[in-house]
Structure 1
């Protein structure tokens, strides 16, 4: 997967899956724009990739002005956007729908849905002008199946898949591909936080119980998700658009679990 001469933008790029994707693009030869609210980690990652090969742009993906800012920063620094990993997301709280906090619901939908929409809204015009580009939105297996106790997250990730399908149909004729990646349980801060919410005194038991229900018997790694994102952005996937690629160790092939037994990305 050769990204020499390409420019990649990764939101939520400072940590977890986004970090692994940013590093993967850099190893493939791309210039990388790391976008995140975590300025310290984002700047450190850009420095790690190297001056002239990466920049960091602090942004809140729920604000149109910030999204326009990272798009313009990419164009100012590198002149194009060839690959876009629309990845920033939050998990929210664990609670039944009948008890779910409205403010938390709004926050999750703002980042996970509006943030993805705004990314598409402001990156796609650049790709349309270029006549090329590949987008990968981060959905989740929570966008494919329900998980008790996560109404906001599940709703938001179903919406990401919907946005992916709509955009793919719209810009496919213009030479632009839009796909989604659906991680299952990945060894990241997000999944660790969910385990702590489910069992504050013994989060390890939640992780052990969940891993035991996965056919591969383990959590995935950020790098394993990154490999799929990079494939979808590469010329190897030149005939793939509007698709949802599951990276879950077989989780969605196993019997459904409640949040006390299992977790999404």
Structure 2
């Protein structure tokens, strides 16, 4: 079940959405644009961005291909937005093959943190001066159910998403008086093309039974509805919140 778009809710606003080529990011970019925002959509895949434009040619979405973990991509997104950003949706993320600490390699650890955490730091750092000058701004990060428990992923993904929660709350506390709100959604299982294979036999044996309690798989559009709500004026008094959007998994 998805909620209906709210016409003109973001009219006159500019929103940056990362990971916009597929899944939650794509659904979020479409929803922001459908509700009146000028959307700058980023993804590492040019083909996926091309498909987004082909599917929704009338929404005026501006696309930019690049590795969101790199500082140059953050600066390119800021330039594409014209320097004034009202909303930042940090959606891009990758999994870690459920590797536990004794088995995780440096390359996996560093790449997961680069995409899941450092990209959020860099892009948020890039947009904050303009938001501070404007006196307003909304930042929504995509965290995870893995930020609330240790059974939903491997060690790198879980640690990175716990860190996303801390970063989100820090921004909310420090910049709330400047008119800036920072919140995060914590999805459970979502129907996306993110790769999440078990590459550890021990992790599968240990975590597999625990993952059997997942209530349901959400549609990407359901997460997009929560992200856009947090970014909207309807959530004007919501700041520093980590919102589980997981079908009730966090309550079990």
TM-score normalised to structure 1 length: 0.84
* Contact 1:127–1:133, Cα closer than 8 Å, also in 2: yes
Residue pairs, 1:1-265, within 5 angstroms: 1=6, 2-50=9-57, 53-75=60-82, 80-147=84-151, 150-190=154-194, 193-195=195-197, 197=199, 210=211, 213-214=213-214, 217-254=215-252
Alpha-carbon distance in 1 for matches of 2:200, 2:174: 40
**How many residue pairs align between the two structures?**
239
Alpha-carbon distance in 1 for matches of 2:124, 2:72: 14
Higher helix share: 1
* Contact 2:172–2:181, Cα closer than 8 Å, also in 1: yes
Q: Cα distance 1:126–1:170, how it changes in 2: closer, same or farther (>3 A)? A: same
For the aligned residues, what is the CA RMSD? 2.1
Q: Following TM superposition, by how much is the alpha carbon of 1:46 offset from its aligned partner in structure 2, in angstroms?
A: 3.3
Alpha-carbon distance in 1 for matches of 2:137, 2:152: 37
* Contact 2:185–2:226, Cα closer than 8 Å, also in 1: yes
Structure 1 residue runs of 4 or more that deviate by more than 6 Å after TM superposition: none
TM-score normalised to structure 2 length: 0.88
Alpha-carbon distance in 2 for matches of 1:224, 1:122: 28
Alpha-carbon distance in 1 for matches of 2:237, 2:125: 23
Consecutive unaligned residues of structure 2, counting only runs of 5 or more, are 1-5, 202-207
Consecutive unaligned residues of structure 1, counting only runs of 5 or more, are 200-205, 255-265
Alpha-carbon distance in 2 for matches of 1:30, 1:149: 34
